[in-house]
C-alpha cells in the first residue's frame, strides 16, 4: 500500500472560497457576515472535485490512501478573531470528513485547528476532540505561526502549546507542523514561509528539552524538512555546541520528515542523510508545485517515482511508502487494520 501523508483539499468547490470571501468581508460589516448554514455544497460537487483531481492522479500514479486535510494556505489564522477561525475550521474539517465518507478507501481526514494569534491554544481543543471522536481524524495540522509570517507566538517548546500536546498524547495523534499563508511581504508563502517554518520548527525542537517533557510527542515536518537535511552537519554541530545529546538520540524518536521535495537529487539527499525510519511518503499533490518538470517530462509532485528511483533497498522503500505511516499515525493503522488492510 502507498500511503500519502500530506494531502490538502486544494480543489474544493468554488462555493467554499466564495463563502470565505463573504466571511472576511463581514469582519468589517457584521450585518453582512456569512453564516455557516448558508454554505451549500452537495455530495455530487464533492465527488466531482475529487474524482477529476486528487483521485484521478492517485490512480494514475499508483497511490492508495491520502491523509487529507484542509488547504493549508486557506487556514489563514491571522484573519479575524478566534470566532472567525473557529467557524472556518469547522467548515473545512467537515468537508474533508465528507470526502473521507464518500471515498473511504482512499481518504482519511486530518484536522485544521481554529488557531488565532494571541489566543489561548486550549481554545482549539473542542474542535480537535470533535474531529477525532466524530470524524475519525488521525492527525492534526499545527501552525507554529498563526500571525502569518510575523512569528508573534512563543516557540513550540513553550508551555503555551502544552494543552494541545497533552491532547495529542491522549489521542495518540501526530501533528504536521504546517504554517499557512504569509501576510509578510518579505516571505513568499510556499517558496519561503513554508520552508523557513519547517527549519524554524526543527531548530526550536533542537534547542529545547521538549521531548524530555513529552517523550511520546510526534511531529511531522513537511516539505522534506526545509533546510534541515541539507544542513544536517550544521544542526549536529549546533546540538554539540549547545551540549545537547546526539540528534539521533535527541530528536529522531519524535521528529519525522516527508518527501515533498520535488526532484530526484533532493530525495537522494533526504534518504542519504535522514534515517529511513524517519521519512514518510508524501506528495502535497495539486498543491504548491503543480507543473511539469521540463527536465523529466513528469509532474514535479509525482514524488512516488523519486522514492522508487532512490538508492534504497526494498525494506527501506516499504517503510517510506507504508510502514512508517502505520507507526507514526497509530489511529491510521487501527483504521486500516479494521478494514483488513
Q: Which of 89, 87, 107 is nearest to 97 (CA)?
A: 107
Residue 34, classed as helix, strand or coil, is coil
CA-angle at 290, arms to 279 and 59, nearest 5°: 70
Distance between CA atoms of 187 and 147, rounded to whole angstroms? 13
Q: Residues 255, 198: contact at Cβ < 8 Å?
A: no
Helix axes 82-102, 14-26, angle to 10 degrees: 170
Burial (CB < 10 A; 0-12, 13-18, 19+), residue 334, is middle
Which residue carries 509578510 as its cell? 184
Instruction: State the cell numbers at 128.
Output: 480537535
- 213 catalytic? Reply is no
Distance between CA atoms of 326 and 337, rounded to whole angstroms? 10
Distance between CA atoms of 108 and 3, rounded to whole angstroms? 10
Which residue carries 492517485 as its cell? 58
Q: Which of 264, 244, 258 is nearest to 311 (CA)?
A: 264
* Element spanning 265, H or E: helix 264-273
Catalytic residue among 94, 284, 316, 322: 284
| CA-based radius of gyration for the chain | 19
Q: Residues 111, 127: contact at Cβ < 8 Å?
A: yes
Q: Which residues are catalytic?
A: 284
Amino acid at each position: 500500500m502507498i500511503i500519502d501523508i500530506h494531502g490538502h483539499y486544494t480543489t474544493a468547490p468554488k462555493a467554499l472560497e466564495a463563502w470565505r470571501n463573504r466571511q472576511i468581508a463581514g469582519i468589517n460589516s457584521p450585518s453582512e457576515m456569512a453564516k455557516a448554514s448558508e454554505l451549500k455544497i452537495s455530495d455530487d460537487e464533492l465527488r466531482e472535485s475529487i474524482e477529476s483531481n486528487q483521485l484521478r492522479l492517485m490512480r494514475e500514479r499508483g497511490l492508495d490512501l491520502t491523509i487529507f486535510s484542509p488547504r493549508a494556505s486557506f487556514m489563514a489564522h491571522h484573519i479575524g478573531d478566534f470566532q472567525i477561525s473557529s467557524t472556518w475550521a469547522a467548515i473545512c474539517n467537515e468537508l474533508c470528513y465528507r470526502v473521507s465518507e464518500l471515498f473511504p478507501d482512499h481518504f482519511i481526514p486530518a484536522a485544521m485547528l481554529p488557531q488565532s494569534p494571541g489566543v489561548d491554544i486550549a481554545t482549539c481543543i473542542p474542535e480537535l476532540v470533535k474531529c477525532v471522536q466524530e470524524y475519525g481524524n488521525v492527525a492534526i495540522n499545527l501552525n507554529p505561526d498563526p500571525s502569518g509570517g510575523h512569528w508573534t507566538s512563543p516557540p513550540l517548546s513553550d508551555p503555551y502549546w502544552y494543552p494541545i500536546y497533552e491532547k495529542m498524547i491522549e489521542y495518540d495523534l501526530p501533528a504536521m507542523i504546517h504554517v499557512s499563508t504569509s501576510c509578510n511581504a518579505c516571505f513568499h508563502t510556499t517558496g519561503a514561509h513554508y520552508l523557513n517554518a519547517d527549519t524554524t520548527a526543527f531548530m526550536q525542537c533542537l534547542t529545547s528539552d521538549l521531548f524530555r517533557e513529552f517523550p511520546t510527542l510526534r511531529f511531522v515536518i513537511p516539505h522534506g524538512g526545509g533546510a534541515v537535511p541539507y544542513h544536517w552537519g550544521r544542526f549536529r554541530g549546533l546540538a554539540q555546541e549547545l551540549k545537547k545529546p546526539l540528534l539521533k538520540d535527541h530528536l529522531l524518536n519524535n521528529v519525522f520528515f516527508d518527501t515533498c521535495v520535488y526532484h530526484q537529487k533532493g530525495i537522494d539527499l533526504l534518504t542519504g542523510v535522514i534515517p529511513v525510519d524517519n521519512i514518510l511518503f508524501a506528495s502535497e499533490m495539486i498543491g504548491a508545485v503543480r507543473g511539469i518538470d521540463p527536465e523529466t517530462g513528469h509532474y514535479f509532485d509525482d514524488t512516488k517515482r523519486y522514492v522508487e528511483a532512490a538508492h534504497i533497498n526494498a525494506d527501506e522503500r516499504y517503510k517510506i511508502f507504508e510502514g512508517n505511516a502505520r507507526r507514526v499515525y497509530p489511529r491510521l493503522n487501527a483504521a486500516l487494520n479494521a478494514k483488513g488492510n
